[in-house]
């Protein structure tokens, strides 16, 4: 890239954005006097704020940078996962939200313990921790890599300065600061994306019609290939992956379930969930479209790109060279906001899991003040650990970041969506589930070992080569098969223990009974009237 420099005005805008983020944490600090306040805001936040917070949590620097990179280099196939989320949520949100609000105190994985025992809680919470540590490291890494090139600042310095800033604001302000900051940052993110899209659409000669027409002409807007092929990245692979991603995210993920608890009522929590998702899909689409528009922009305008520019570096280059002074700073601030809004949520939720699922297990008589202190310590520890992971990413290289994110999700998903479906819709028991969990771990280990290459060139080989017994399907399918294995084996194995009967109140039958009773009462009231 050429030797461009960030204008002093842009530096001021970026600095003010970071300082204001910490100030929000400091503002809410004096209110954080209990774990219920620190982790759930005492269930007193409006649905619209919770909804925008869900949006901001789902959107991160991965969306801001990796999606445009995909849109530039390929088509929209990786958007398919996100498009599945509202389809799944429409069917499950009505009974999942009341279930969690009525059954658990704080940890999403408390449900699994009440339904299947402590081992199920330990397994599911550990899967969450592993998945989110890897995600946080990726978010830090991708943001720092982009900003270091754009601002001419050392990558490691950005990781640690930004990381410590997020740790400070999250430790101080708790989930209340996280959610209100998410509202601000979510608006900044959408405004920044729309501004960039407008420049890309209207600056080239011929305007939007020329930009979109060129993209269509070169097959940049589409979701194919559409083959029924599970070994390659196809529409069906991403669609199936998206279905189970949605079930796991909205049915078992602490970052989302914890948001249910912050709303004032079941109805508002449902409304917040739907708002968050139906805002997220357009935002994901917007940033994928930005990548597509970048492809058209640089071909139509003949504006030069530095030789060897990677696809995920095109958008940062555009921001630094094509936007006016001041606006560049606003976009950089929006980029940082996208990362902060995801990271602060992850830190708070990881701390909540640490306190509820682990600390309280060993110190059940701990006072609320002690739990609050441990929670704040865990926020700091998780943030520093994520910075360490991001630093390792820098040392290891930066190939295929969006692919890395999806692959890590597939590996660390651990069949949790299958466990959730098993608990909610069947009469499966804990003995059967434990057998299903063991089968899932064995399956995932076999699939990863027999499909992961190591070495380079002629020395490249699989970690474990079993010949025709190797796992040959696309790695994203791990995020489908692991759930099916756990569900199928767990369900069938439960028949071996017929005397173990689950609590009906922890299944969908309780919700169906309540709905039927409500309808009977409404019908009776109409008859009397």
- Domain of residue 316: give its range: 8-25+33-394+401-412
Claim to verify: residue 198 and residue 315 sit in the same structural domain:
yes
Claim to verify: residue 336 and residue 436 sit in the same structural domain:
no
Q: Cα dist. 237→75, 77, 413 in Å?
A: 15, 10, 16
Say if residues 141 and 342 touch (Cβ distance below 8 Å).
Answer: no
Segment 314-333, tens digit of pLDDT = 998 999 999 888 889 988 98
340: enclosing H helix or E strand: helix 327-353
Q: Which pLDDT score is estimated for 340?
A: 86
Claim to verify: residue 406 and residue 428 sit in the same structural domain:
no
Residues 6+ positions from 361 with CB-CB distance below 8 Å: 118
Claim to verify: residue 72 and residue 56 sit in the same structural domain:
yes
Claim to verify: residue 171 and residue 49 sit in the same structural domain:
yes
Segment 14-68, tens digit of pLDDT = 899 889 989 999 999 988 989 989 998 888 899 999 999 888 878 776 787 789 9
97 within domain boundaries: yes
**Is the omega angle on the peptide bond into residue 225 within 30 degrees of 0, that is, cis?**
yes
177 within domain boundaries: yes
pLDDT range class, residue 146, cuts 50, 70, 90? confident
Against a cut of 0.95, is the pTM above it? no
**Between vectors from CA 388 to CA 385 and to CA 392, what angle results, nearest 5°?**
140
Q: How many domains does the chain have?
A: 2
Final residue in a domain of this structure, among 362, 386, 412: 412
3 within domain boundaries: no
Claim to verify: residue 369 and residue 421 sit in the same structural domain:
no
Farthest-apart Cα atoms in the chain, separation: 83
Which has more confidence, 281 or 479?
Answer: 281
The per-residue DSSP string of 386-424 comes to HHHHHHHHHHH--S-HHHHHHHHHHHHTTTHHHHHHHHH
């Amino acid at each position: 890239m050429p030797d461009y420099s960030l204008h002093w005005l842009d530096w001021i805008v970026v600095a003010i954005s970071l300082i204001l983020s910490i100030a929000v944490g400091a503002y809410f600090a004096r209110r954080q006097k209990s774990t219920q306040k620190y982790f759930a805001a005492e269930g007193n936040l409006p649905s619209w704020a919770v909804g925008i917070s869900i949006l901001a949590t789902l959107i991160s620097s991965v969306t801001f940078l990796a999606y445009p990179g995909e849109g530039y280099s390929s088509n929209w196939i990786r958007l398919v996962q996100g498009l599945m989320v509202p389809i799944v949520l429409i069917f499950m949100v009505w009974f999942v939200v009341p279930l969690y609000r009525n059954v658990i105190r704080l940890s999403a994985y408390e449900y699994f313990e009440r339904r299947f025992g402590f081992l199920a809680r330990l397994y599911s919470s550990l899967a969450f921790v592993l998945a989110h540590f890897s995600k946080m490291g990726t978010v830090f890494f991708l943001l720092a890599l982009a900003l270091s090139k754009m601002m001419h600042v050392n990558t490691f310095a950005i990781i640690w300065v930004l990381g410590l800033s997020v740790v400070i604001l999250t430790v101080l302000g708790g989930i209340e600061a996280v959610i209100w900051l998410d509202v601000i940052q979510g608006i900044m993110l959408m405004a920044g994306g729309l501004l960039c899209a407008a420049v890309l659409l209207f600056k080239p000669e011929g305007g939007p019609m020329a930009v979109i027409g060129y993209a269509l002409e070169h097959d940049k807007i589409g979701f194919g290939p559409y083959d029924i092929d599970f070994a390659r990245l196809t529409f069906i692979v991403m669609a199936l992956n998206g279905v189970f991603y949605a079930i796991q995210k909205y049915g078992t993920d602490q970052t989302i379930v914890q948001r249910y608890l912050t709303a004032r009522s079941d109805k508002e929590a449902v409304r917040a969930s739907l708002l968050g998702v139906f805002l997220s899909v357009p935002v994901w689409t917007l940033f994928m479209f930005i990548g597509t528009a970048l492809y058209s922009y640089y071909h139509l305008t003949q504006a030069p790109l530095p030789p060897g520019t990677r696809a995920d570096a095109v958008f940062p280059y555009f921001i630094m060279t094509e936007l006016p002074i001041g606006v560049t700073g606003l976009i950089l601030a929006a980029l940082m906001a996208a990362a902060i809004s995801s990271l602060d949520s992850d830190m708070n939720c990881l701390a909540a899991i640490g306190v509820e699922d682990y600390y309280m297990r060993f110190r059940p008589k701990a006072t609320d003040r002690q739990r609050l202190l441990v929670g704040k310590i865990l926020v700091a520890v998780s943030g520093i650990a994520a910075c360490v992971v991001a630093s390792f990413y820098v040392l290891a290289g930066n190939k295929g970041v969006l692919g890395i994110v999806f692959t890590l999700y597939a590996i660390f998903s651990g069949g949790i969506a299958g466990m959730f479906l098993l608990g909610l819709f069947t009469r499966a028991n804990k003995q059967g589930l434990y057998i299903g969990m063991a089968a899932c771990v064995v399956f995932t280990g076999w699939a990863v070992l027999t499909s992961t290459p190591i070495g380079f060139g002629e020395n490249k080989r699989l970690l474990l080569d079993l010949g025709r017994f190797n796992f040959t399907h696309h790695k994203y399918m791990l995020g489908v098969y692991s759930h099916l294995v756990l569900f199928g084996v767990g369900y069938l194995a439960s028949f071996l223990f017929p005397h173990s009967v689950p609590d009906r109140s922890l299944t969908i039958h309780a919700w169906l009974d309540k709905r039927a009773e409500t309808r009977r009462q409404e019908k009776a009231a109409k008859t009397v009237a």
